[in-house]
Chains A and B, each alone.
Chain A
């Protein structure tokens, strides 16, 4: 039963292209076209990675980064959803918050770091807070949009069935708003991840960003690549994890980016 699935296009083509690219890289290093000191062969990167996994160091770094990501995400999520829904519900809130949000967004979160450090010291809170700012802004806006985008007909239907106030909100609006909210969550996780890694690169002892930067600083290039690979894997893990969660919470929703193939 599994075999036909394994041999399907969805699996073989991506696998083939990945292997070809890795093999090409390996060859280029061995033939000296790529300097091994700066472009280590995939095999030696894998070797270093394995060593790191066995020594346990890998798990500490990966776990720390993941933990920071989750925590800062949750820190941003609750105020953002509350504020965003308020913005969507009450026009005045929207007009008040909109300009502030738009002004703050383009500023790279790391730039806030010095200010945050002053008030929160070097504690985890400083790191987490910096990582939470832009995701907070993103999710607020999506939450506001989620409510605004609701179909009138849906609301009317709900009301016709006797749902009002709180019930209307929880049973009709919230499920309808969920897909939009999730777009916000996905963007937020993506951005939050970037910021956490960037902040770790500057100021953390543990965590993948810190590991990457430190390896770079002492010119242990293989370790740097391992860091990159791990960061990528973590990113994929988090993205797909969120998608899986989305699919479970909203089975009725077809995701824009993963439309079931019809062609």
Chain B
């Protein structure tokens, strides 16, 4: 049985080695891990990291790609990541309800809902689409349910007297929406950049809606962090917010989106070519990190109505967000 024992010994050794990898989590406490998905919504985080704004505040940050928005939220709530970003979707509301240690601390990007709706070009050419009301009963794609883009669909349908229940909703990842539009599997989709622009470039789709002049963009994504971490590392949290604010202000400058320094950074982390990025419609950022409650309540309401939430009554937004750090950072830097 000697051979068996040596096998067992090597097995134990291997397992030990495997878990030695966990040393990195212990040593890694000083690094702030930021979870992201390759989307341009995360531009402020990319920019702050790459341009050294966090470093200037004394923070070492690490960008970690995660498979989905939900993953970012869960990994931040377990403390595996310290910071993340994502839409105010059902997951966020449910997380708050379950008292997970996640705090939503600053807006990330805003957009005009009109910029998201892409309608199949063939429909328009054939005259079948004149207004949003013509979408009744048609197939419309969203990338997932219970996320901000689904809410956007509802919002763009409202002016045509429709709600999301009046269309045939299909779930598709963004890239697949383009071939689907092309061959008619869907008539419209709520498509994010750069895919929306690419759809237009390839003559597959058109964005028929224009934002009203003077209309305000709506918050789509929000930055959040692990509140236990923030409590224990107040200094780091403030440092993060300062660096974040700087990046947001950079991106709020006129034509900031097209600046080569920015497109390069965003391209690096999203895998989208800089040339393509330049043609996309830029997201909007809030240089004073302001978030309006009205839109967020509307999003909560939407998710509640569709039965995604674990609770039945609307909660005040104050329970979900904590803008104190953002306000402090803005105060320190001075309002724009």
Contact = CB atoms under 8 A, between A and B. Distances in A.
A177 B295 CA distance: 65
A123 B98 CA distance: 37
Nearest to A222: B310
Interface in A25-44: 35, 37-38
A205 B70 contact: no
Given A122-B180, A122-B185, A219 B173 contact: no
B70 A217 contact: yes
Interface string B178-206: 01101111100000000000000000000
B183 A118 contact: yes
Nearest to B169: A205
A219 B179 contact: no
A169 to B, nearest CB: 42
Given A37-B100, A121-B183, A122-B185, A113 B176 contact: yes
Contact of B173 (A119, A123, A203, A214): A203
A15 to B, nearest CB: 28
A119 B184 CA distance: 11
Given A121-B185, A203-B171, A217 B68 contact: yes
B308 A218 contact: yes
A261 to B, nearest CB: 23
B128 to A, nearest CB: 18
Contact of A218 (B89, B170, B183): B89
Interface size class of B (residues with CB under 8 A): 35 or more
B52 interface: no
A205 B171 contact: yes
B208 interface: no
Given A37-B100, A114-B175, A117-B180, A220 B78 contact: no
Given A37-B100, A38-B78, A122 B70 contact: no
Interface in B60-93: 68-70, 73-74, 77-78, 89-91
A210 B70 CA distance: 14
B298 interface: no
Contact of A219 (B70, B176, B185): B70
Interface residues of A, number: 22
Instruction: Name which of A114, A119, A122, A219 has the most chain B CB atoms within 10 A of its CB.
Output: A219
B90 A219 contact: yes
Given A121-B183, A121-B185, A122-B170, A218 B176 contact: no
B145 interface: yes
B235 to A, nearest CB: 27
B145 A217 contact: yes
A217 B172 contact: no
Instruction: Name which of A35, A38, A220 has the most chain B CB atoms within 10 A of its CB.
Output: A220
A11 B180 CA distance: 51
B70 A216 contact: yes
Given A113-B176, A121-B184, A122-B185, A218 B145 contact: yes
Contacts of B170: 122, 205
B91 A203 contact: no
A119 B185 CA distance: 10
A85 to B, nearest CB: 35
A202 interface: yes
A218 B310 CA distance: 10
Contacts of B74: 38, 219
Contacts of B68: 217
Interface string A33-66: 0010110000000000000000000000000000
Given A217-B70, A217-B145, A218-B146, A37 B98 contact: yes
Contact of B179 (A114, A202, A210): A114
User: 9 shortest A-B CB distances, which residue pairs?
Assistant: A121-B185, A218-B90, A218-B146, A118-B179, A219-B91, A219-B94, A122-B185, A217-B70, A37-B98
Interface of B: 68-70, 73-74, 77-78, 89-91, 94-95, 98, 100, 139, 144-147, 169-173, 175-176, 179-180, 182-186, 303, 308-310
